[in-house]
Structure 1
Amino acid sequence: MAETHDATAGDSWRERLRASGHRLTAQRELVLQAVDTLGHATPDEVLAEVRKSTSAVSLSTVYRTLDLLEELGLVRHAHLHDRAPTYHSTTSPPHAHTVCRRCGRVRELSQPRTAELVATFREGEGFEVDVAHLTVFGTCLDCEAPAG
């Protein structure tokens, strides 16, 4: 069962934070909630979401908090663009991403497809893929469709 970060659904993320010797702060909770809400978000996008609740959080606080949350296994990051990393919650299983270079659409590669890819690399190449950081760039079929 996937762990949830929703404050109303359980306290396991709070326990993990405290067990690691870190305090539970309103800013940390807001950053984690923003990542959960947005799905995939850069630190700037997380800040914009947090600022809907408070202006008392800076971009450096967001970066430090995201680093801490990643260290604790509560969020992961991937490089989906040529800009800042994109963070997503660990409530979903590890997954790869596809990014269309034309329209910018980001899609999560389905779990069965990810498993096939991992197996192909493991068996064919003797290589273990870190799917949480895997991003495949290309062109989606919608953008490839002929104009007409």
Structure 2
Amino acid sequence: MSDQGSLRSTLHQRGMRMTPQRQLVLDAVRELGHATPEQVCRRVQGTASTVNITTVYRALDLLEELGLVRHTHLGHGAPTYSVEEHEHVHLACHRCGKIDEVPTELLDDLSRELLTRFGFVLNATHLALSGLCRNCRNTDVDAAEER
């Protein structure tokens, strides 16, 4: 079934109707990979100039409720949305803002430890870790060596 057919079917099952705006928002998230609501809005407005940011936020909320997109906080500012099947952990440099992606499997040991010790099931697909990227860390090391 097509993405549009799947969305239409899911909405119909919940007594909701398919709108062009909802489809445009989902398409924009898929095309952009990771995007803030403002970035999604700009992409949608390239096709439908009358769509406003409020409509985009409502569509994103609904799409997340339906399990078609999810959001992650990658530091300060607006959340970033991606499609549900897009699974990885984000590494967010709190100095330069660079975002890297690593496989969720890197957290398997932590996931097992959390389950064993605390009964907690980690959802690593909705996770951003904050720290320093290699370049910023190397800059710190270089500066320390110059002193």
Quick check: 1:76 aligned with 2:70?
yes
State the alpha-carbon separation in 1 of the partners of residues 12 and 27 from structure 2. 17
Query: 2:107 matched to which residue of 1?
Result: 114
| Structure 1 residue 103 displacement after superposition | 1.8
Query: 2:18 matched to which residue of 1?
Result: 24
The TM-score with structure 1 as length reference comes to 0.84
Is the 2:94–2:131 Cα contact (8 Å) retained in structure 1? yes
Q: Which moved more, 1:123-132 or 1:19-28?
A: 123-132
The within-5 A match list for 1:1-148 is 5=3, 7=4, 11-93=5-87, 95-146=88-139, 147=142
Identity among equivalent positions (%) equals: 43
| Structure 2: segments with no counterpart, 5+ residues | none
Q: SS of 1:37's equivalent?
A: helix
**1:2-42 alpha-carbon deviations (Å, 9 max, x no partner):** x984x5xxx32321122111111110000000110111111
Is the 2:75–2:130 Cα contact (8 Å) retained in structure 1? no
Is the 1:99–1:139 Cα contact (8 Å) retained in structure 2? yes
Q: State the aligned residue count.
A: 141
Residue type of the partner of 1:70? Answer: E
Q: Which moved more, 1:117-126 or 1:35-44?
A: 117-126
Q: SS of 2:130's equivalent?
A: strand
